[in-house]
Amino acid sequence: MTENDPELLNTVYREIGEALGMDAAMVIYQMFRGQQISFPTRFFNPSRIQQIVIQEYDGTNLRTLAIKYGYSEKTVRRMIRERLEEKP
């Protein structure tokens, strides 16, 4: 067995190695070993998405924005309402 043999790795590191390469698995191991990590469901920053939604909202495209950014119409409506409530 060699040092770069994925069979030597714990399951999660093996999966990372297979998906991203052994070097990436080693970097992730060195950065986060011993820590429990939880990844957010959303890839993008919700605050930034809210800013973009506000910029793109034209009063008629609520559904389009919800689909585009993967949120429900209710959530997009809330984003807009929250931003409007912030303004004096």
Percent of the residues in the chain that have a pLDDT greater than 70, as a whole number: 93
Q: Is the pTM of this model over 0.75?
A: no
CB atoms within 10 A of CB 16: 20
Exposure on the CB side of residue 85, measured as CA atoms within 13 A: 6
Q: Is 82 helix (H, G, I), strand (E, B) or coil?
A: helix
Instruction: Tell me the two tokens of residue 62.
Output: 């609520």
Q: Which residue has the higher pLDDT, 71 or 3?
A: 71
pLDDT-derived band of residue 1, with 50, 70 and 90 as boundaries? very low
pLDDT, tens digit, 9 for 90 and up, residues 24-51: 999 999 999 999 999 888 888 999 999 9
Q: What is the DSSP string of 7-48?
A: GGS-HHHHHHHHHH-HHHHHHHHHHHTT------S-SS-HHH
